[in-house]
A and B are shown apart, each in its own frame.
Chain A
Amino acid sequence: MLLKISKLKYLISLIFVCALMIQNGWSKSKNHYASSNIESALLSNAEAVIRLDSTYLSITASGYVLKSKKVITILKESGRRWGRFVEMYKESTKISDIKGKLYNADGEEISSLKKNELRDVSTFGNSFIFHNDTRLKIYDFDQRVYPYTVEFEHTIKSTENLFLPSWNIQSSTNLSVEKSVFVLSYPKNEQVKWRENNLPAQYTFNQNDKGNLQELKWEIENVLAYKQALLLENKTNDVSVDFVKESIVLGAYSGTSSSWNTFGNFFYTINKDRDELPDAMVAKIKMMTDTCANAKDKVAVLYQYLQRNTRYVANEYGLAGWQTFPASEVNKLGYGDCKGLANYMKAMLKAINIPSHLVLVSAGENSFVKMDEQFVRSAFNHMILCVLLDKDTIWVESTSSTNPIGYLGSFTQGRNVLLLTENGGIVAQTPYYDKNSSYLNRKIEIWIEPNADNHKLTWNTVYSGVLQDDLVSLYKIGAQSRIKNYQSMIMPYKVFNIANFETKFNEDPYTVPFLNEKIEMSAKQLTEHIGDQLLVHIPVKESLMSKIYQKEKRTVPFEFVIDKKHKYQFVINIPQGYKIQNIPTVASISKPFGKFEINPTEENNTLLIDVVFEQNAGIYDAKHYDAYNEMYQFVEEHFNSIQFMLKK
């Protein structure tokens, strides 16, 4: 009996233990998404943590299927955007099987996605594009009690494969990743290439044979959020893997991405035979150019015609995103997007037998999606034109209404581009406007008036190359109110009155453009009487260097995208009967990324102060960070105001 009782006790204990184990196990699985399960290292600098990002990309002969599951814990208000389902699609893609769940901080499910509340919106109004087929599926649980976790699943089917989805591991510096898995599957008879961008060391990669399919699997855990550093090299933020399939399909067109040549041929084919113009227009073009002395002059005349008679309107609906509108259409409507206008220019040139090629380019000063010569994949967002003459290559930015012919500007300067020719794609390099072309020269002359605090000044500034890009548009086509705002913004004086200004533009064809701005004004509060002395205090407001101060040690490189050179000359006319008591000191500093010099001299009762600042484009290792701050402080110290005493 005792035995029986003890057996019973044992049995009860066993049942109890089993029940506990089951309960614990169940509870663990139930609370898997509890925010308390997140390791503390992942919380640092993070506004959200990707608990799981699982993607299965299956590439087919002419398209792909992507299945995705994401679980994200939102830690605070600033991270709300990561808790929304936002998926982009186009006419060639279809999104289905959208599911979503919401979990509270304890990992308990509190809501699920309601299909009738899934929003389907156009992207119109969110960019400069007037018309396209890009739409978004959006769902927001509108949860505001933090932390909380969302789980979203969806499937995308695409009938095209020119643009394959990438594995974007960490799309923002303030996102941590607990686990991310990407599986790529494709038929063995197809060729797929990939490029790994800045993958942290801890990732794993496996290749598996699955019958007729090849399966590649990347996996990574514990990618930590980090603080954004200023002047960060753009590509540093890009932690991803990109894919490209050799046989490519876009709409009804197919081709290969085995080389830039074949890739270029694919786009050449898409845009072929769209450069015909009506006879009347051809006749008009001939009439306009008949009297030109040479081909370069003809190109210049037609570019001017393009600038005066067309305007930029982006219509990128479906294939129109990659295929130009026919030149005849642009001729009729007077507007087009970059492709349409470039192709229109090409058609006009063709009418007088000047050959040219459409050019694909990744435009933008800070774009990190740049054409990679080693990895044939579209990184393009813009089209320009290249005119190849016997001895000259002329680059044409067809969307600009202000550039002189042959000048591209900061938008497309100094980068690899793809010329689309009848012989396929040709990789070329656009011209770069270095600091000998892109500079600012400013002469500021001041007449000190000792008896009234109201001093005459003139500013005479030459902005050249990329430093004039934005200004030339402002001065040429901007409203007076915008011009006034700009001038007020650059003036360092507390009280001033601009009496007059004039601008001259260098519009000579085939030169680097410059803008000469002359401003006449008067300013107050530059002097103060102190006994028999006159304190002269001339403020300076030039942001020569960006501030990149951070308390933490800098670990990532910094980058200057453009070269620049600024020269200033202050000419300060001292009033009769006064002598300068103290001339500001000569100072200079030079570092690998730039240099600064200030050189004051006195000449015939005039104080001359020459200042030179140069910035060298490039990527600089974090070890230069202290030197950068040293130079920044130096420049701030020596160039924030000019102060000296005058005595009778």
Chain B
Amino acid sequence: MKPIFVLFFTCISLVSFSQPYKIESNKDSLMHYLNAKSNKLYPDANVEVLYEIGTTENVPLGDRTYNYEIAFKVYNAADIGDFADVVIPNVNNGIIKKITAICYNLENGKIVESKLEKENLLNDKLNNNVDVVKFSIPGIKDGSVVKYSYTCLNGYSKRKWIFQRDVPVAYSRFNYNTSTFSIITASAKTSVPFKTVENLKKLDASKLEAVSTVEKKTFNINDFENIEYRSWIRRNIAPFESEPLMEDENQLKDAVTIYFNGYSGEGFHRPLVVSWEEYNDKYWVKGNYQSVFSKNNFLNATVDNLVKSTDDTLLKIKNIFYYVQDNYTVNNNRIPIKDLLNAKQGSAGSINLLLCAMLRNAGFNSSIVLIANKYSDQLNPYLYNIEDLTNEVVSVEYKGTLFFMDASFKELPFGYLNSYLYNGYARVVNEVASSVELGTMLASNINNVNVNIEPIAEKNNEYSFSIKRSYGVYDAIAIRKLWKSDSSSFENTILDKGYDVTQKSGYHKESVVLENVNDLEKPLVLTIKGKMVIDANVNQLILDPFFVKPFTINPVNDNKDVKERKYDIYFDNVSRDNYTLNMKLNDNVTVEKTIPNTRFQFGKNGLIKYNQQVMYDQSRHSLLCKYNLENAAIMVPANEYQDLAGFYDEIIKNINQKIVIKNK
């Protein structure tokens, strides 16, 4: 290394980052932590992170380093998970060095130290690309305070820092230092907005809960050797707790992500991606995948064969989609579409590229749609965050409407994507380049249940029943998979465990039929037939008329006594549950009590509404029971949780009412 760079890195290392939780240097402070019996705000916490600091230094031509340091207090040693046994990954032939670990305990009022020794470091070659260094913290017990640190040289370079953990964190800091030469975009997501201060000094002095800075330090006239220091600090972070119907936790935890977008300096500007349009052209339409957008005569015979049998345009499109979906299986190999045509197996992306090419070959306006799914950061119209791209699907235009499809997924019909792909902004790749908003409202799941009940001969409480359930496209996914993996087990399970209300004793299932398992264009229909004996109490029969309920426990709190929620309630598809029961009563009984009709909705706009009707038709001596639950794909703010929980409690209460039938 040239001397100038040695000086340069020395300068970098002189910039130290202060943190308020002194462990080694302040024995009084350490004693305070050792004496602590529990976290004041979170007394159930088994561990509390006192501080956690990560520093990535990523400068051109220099070493890439990542320094990590953590100190934590142990309240309950028996349940601290990964805190006690540390695993440091090492990739790209990097070097893990300067590993130190020390555990402090209080014994008879004195501080006792247990230090990690070199001989207790364990090395493991995980696979051809990743090594790990492992160690167990010595001497951990209830009350311990632990500190460990390490440096990763030229290996793993951290660019996403998650401040929040499942335990309370008092102080968390991420530093990202790079040459001013680099084009960097930082994306921060926090429950408390970051206040930006001017420089590192002010950052260190700040006591704010969320504070950040970017400070440029000039070491040389050449930009190449000047450094931008970025730092983010979060304090007093609550443990992350999952809640039902919340977004993916990666979207909710406080975090900062660094995007590297190229290099820029005096007289030159070399971004990795200039714009989404440039990416569309350079990488896709005129780049690696230009074959998708070419004429592709090699597809003529296959495509002609698929479209020649019909004049219906939509049917032609579907024929191509279902051909690819049925005949191409997914593996991990991304191969050119020409090879894939005959190989019949390739990566999910390759299969959708082939589908797009075939649709275009047939003369349709089809494009590749690039998506960041709900488990990664959303695509951003201005950030060009190509690293977040996770899926390639296909769009086709028919009568002015765009239809989206994924031929690599075998359980969804034409026009549907998996619900985790409806994640807002997506890029449409074609000759003109555009974007599309893939909103959750496009994902629609409609369940219909029809129950018919007829009396059997003489006994007043014996009836035959038939339940016909037509599954919504998303609910059908799991059922189709179960059936395909072992239809006999599926049948046995239904016959044995039953089906919602029929799980109870008194319901004897006799047959199970599943229709349209392989025909995705038609709804999947499950029909169960059997006999039932209604619960008898003295001279009365108690009937639960709602055989299939949309839920049995409150979906927003799992029936737990929760007073408030932290996260918004997230419905990732439009759902509708329609239920109808027709019951012909035995001539020897009368209806003593039915269930009152109810209709209620959540919110002013009625985006979630429930309607329940029970009617006794005296002339036909029969019962008609119906309900309809409509749930829009919406985000309900956390502060409306109580109202929504009450709404669902009301549904549960109403749907569990009984009809009383009396012997004449």
Contact = CB atoms under 8 A, between A and B. Distances in A.
B621 interface: no
Contacts of A480: 44
Interface in A474-503: 476-481, 484, 488, 491, 494-498
B554 interface: yes
B511 to A, nearest CB: 12
Interface stretch (B137-145, B294-302, B454-462, B602-610): B137-145
Nearest to B649: A495
Interface stretch (B12-20, B208-216, B280-288, B328-336): B328-336
B4 interface: no
Interface in B191-220: none
A481 B139 contact: no
B474 to A, nearest CB: 21
Interface stretch (A140-148, A236-244, A596-604, A618-626): A140-148
A190 B298 CA distance: 67
B305 to A, nearest CB: 20
Contacts of A121: 126-127
The size bracket of the interface on B is 35 or more
B656 A124 contact: no
B492 A524 contact: no
A560 interface: no
A644 B142 CA distance: 52
Nearest to B76: A477
Interface string B502-545: 00111000000000000000000000000000010110101000
Interface stretch (A88-96, A198-206, A332-340, A406-414): A332-340
A144 B126 contact: no
Interface in B97-142: 114, 120, 122, 124-128, 132, 134, 136, 138-142
Given A530-B660, A550-B492, A119 B127 contact: yes
A401 to B, nearest CB: 5
Contacts of A479: 44, 46, 79
Interface in A294-310: 308-309
Contacts of B241: 481
A531 B561 CA distance: 32
B560 interface: yes
A442 interface: no
B69 interface: no
B558 interface: yes
Given A121-B126, A313-B136, A494-B552, A547 B497 contact: yes
Contacts of B652: 494-495, 525
Contacts of A547: 496-497
Given A144-B329, A643-B535, A637 B127 contact: no
Contacts, number: 145
A581 B114 contact: no
A317 to B, nearest CB: 8
B180 to A, nearest CB: 40
A615 B10 CA distance: 73
A317 B120 CA distance: 13
Given A313-B85, A484-B560, A525-B656, A531 B592 contact: yes
A494 B553 contact: yes
A122 interface: yes
A46 B113 CA distance: 59
A308 B76 CA distance: 11
Contact of B656 (A125, A491, A494, A643): A494
A636 B491 CA distance: 20
A78 to B, nearest CB: 6
A629 to B, nearest CB: 9
Contact of A549 (B136, B492, B559): B492
A interface: dominant SS? mixed
Contact of B592 (A488, A494, A530): A530
A494 B656 CA distance: 9
B78 interface: yes
A591 interface: no
B90 to A, nearest CB: 13
A581 B537 contact: yes
B298 to A, nearest CB: 20
Contacts of B485: 78
B169 interface: no
B139 A131 contact: no
A640 interface: yes
Interface in B463-504: 485, 488, 491-492, 495-497, 504
Contacts of B44: 479-480
Nearest to B125: A122
Given A78-B485, A130-B85, A633 B505 contact: yes
Given A119-B127, A495-B649, A497-B561, A334 B139 contact: yes
Contacts of A192: none
Nearest to B43: A480
Nearest to A550: B492
B340 interface: no
Contacts of B84: 311, 313, 335
A141 B331 CA distance: 10
B658 A120 contact: no
A640 B85 CA distance: 45
Nearest to A142: B331
B104 to A, nearest CB: 13
B657 interface: yes
Contact of A308 (B132, B141, B333, B505): B141
A227 interface: yes
Given A497-B561, A644-B537, A645-B540, A131 B134 contact: yes
Nearest to A495: B649
Contacts of A119: 127-128
Query: Which of A125, A333, A402, A537 lies at the interface centre, i.e. has the most chain B CB atoms within 10 A of its CB?
Result: A333
Given A525-B653, A640-B505, A581 B538 contact: yes
Contacts of B329: 144-145
Interface string A310-331: 0101010100000000000000
Given A478-B79, A645-B538, A488 B558 contact: yes
A232 interface: no
Interface string A109-141: 000000000011110110000110000000000
A391 interface: no
Contacts of A124: 124, 126, 132, 134
B344 interface: yes
B537 A645 contact: yes
A351 to B, nearest CB: 19
A11 to B, nearest CB: 43
Contacts of B559: 488, 491, 494-496
A130 B133 CA distance: 11
Nearest to B559: A488
Contacts of A143: 331, 345
B273 interface: no
A430 to B, nearest CB: 24
A432 B47 CA distance: 37
Interface in B621-642: none
B658 A528 contact: yes
Interface in B64-112: 76-79, 84-85
A582 interface: yes
B125 to A, nearest CB: 6
A553 interface: no
B160 interface: no
B397 to A, nearest CB: 31
6 contacts: A131-B124, A309-B141, A473-B78, A495-B652, A551-B495, A640-B505
3 smallest CB-CB distances across A and B, nearest first, come from A549-B496, A144-B329, A637-B505
Given A122-B124, A227-B488, A549-B492, 6 more contacts: A311-B140, A333-B120, A488-B559, A494-B656, A549-B495, A645-B537
Interface of A: 78, 119-122, 124-125, 130-131, 142-145, 227, 308-309, 311, 313, 315, 317, 332-335, 401-402, 473, 476-481, 484, 488, 491, 494-498, 524-525, 528, 530-531, 535, 537, 547, 549-551, 581-582, 633, 636-637, 640-641, 643-645
